[in-house]
Structure 1
Amino acid sequence: MEKICIDTGHGVRHRVAVSGELVEKDIALKVSMALRASLEAGGYERLVTRVSDASVSMRERAAWASLELCDFFISVHLSADPDPDEPGMHEAK
């Protein structure tokens, strides 16, 4: 069975994009949890680097995935752009 590591981007101490009530780290966590549930339903072994609003360094994330011998590493991040005409999340002005 393939082992998939889902890396939930950011965390409590990291600077993240904010647009109104939308916060990048919170959306990344929701996406990661949905992906985890979907992979579990598909029978995949899945691990998640962050399941709460905690800070995990990139070094810790990579080391853990290597130690667990993950076959895939999916990093969940979002982008922001102050230009409201650009697609994606936008920073509040």
Structure 2
Amino acid sequence: MQFDEQKDQVTVERVLRVVFLDAESSTPAMEKLKRQLAEAEAAVETRKKPPPDTGPPVVGEGFVIDEWKERREKYLARQQVEAIDSV
């Protein structure tokens, strides 16, 4: 119960590993970091670009809503006709 009362005050500590690298020399660790940086930058660029248009043209967003409204109106009209017929 004490934890529930103090959960706003709880902090999580992380122990980070520090690696000192010489930017002038080429080490496996430095090469790995450069490769990871290049991959991350490529991923960011990929996200910025719109996806390639590979499929058939997509129906506009408004058309789906319009079709739904039209179907709903037909359904409601049919319900009213059925209600009148049953009376």
State the TM bucket, normalised to the shorter chain: under 0.3
Q: Which of these two proteins has the greater Rg computed from alpha carbons?
A: 2
- TM-score normalised by L of structure 2: 0.26
Higher strand share: 1
- TM-score normalised by L of structure 1: 0.25
Greater relative contact order (Cα < 8 A, sep 6+): 1
